[in-house]
Amino acid sequence: MIYESQSKELDLEKCTRLYPAAVVEVGGEIAQMSLEWAELNKDKVPVKHYVLVFDFDPLSEIQVNRQELIYKTYDEFIIGMREVDAFINKVSK
């Protein structure tokens, strides 16, 4: 089940984790934070962009094989999440 987006081919059958995150910069450090954290701190810490993270390592291992789909705005991010969801639901039927 290959999902294609942003010039990437993601084999979702091999994906062990899929999660959303907000990317923020604080004091020169860049970090992925939960969407909830980003929303609660939006007045203090601006979001640089949003990502959907696809991990391909076994759950018991450190995540080194990952791909990210990057979205500049929250609206693009929501559209991207809906597209992935629709793809998964279509293929799994």
Task: Establish if 92 belongs to a structural domain.
Answer: no
Burial group, residue 51, by CB count within 10 angstroms (0-12, 13-18, 19+): buried
Task: Establish if 68 belongs to a structural domain.
Answer: yes
Report pLDDT for 93. 67
State the total domains in the chain: 1
Q: Could you list the residue range(s) of the whole structural domain that residue 46 is in? A: 2-87
E strand segments, the chain:
2-5, 8-11, 17-26, 29-33, 47-55, 66-71
Task: Establish if 28 belongs to a structural domain.
Answer: yes
Task: Establish if 47 belongs to a structural domain.
Answer: yes
Q: What is the pLDDT of residues 39-91, one digit of tens each?
A: 999 899 999 999 999 999 988 888 888 999 999 999 999 999 999 999 998 88
Task: Establish if 29 belongs to a structural domain.
Answer: yes
Q: Is the pTM of this model over 0.75?
A: yes
Task: Establish if 66 belongs to a structural domain.
Answer: yes
Task: Establish if 42 belongs to a structural domain.
Answer: yes
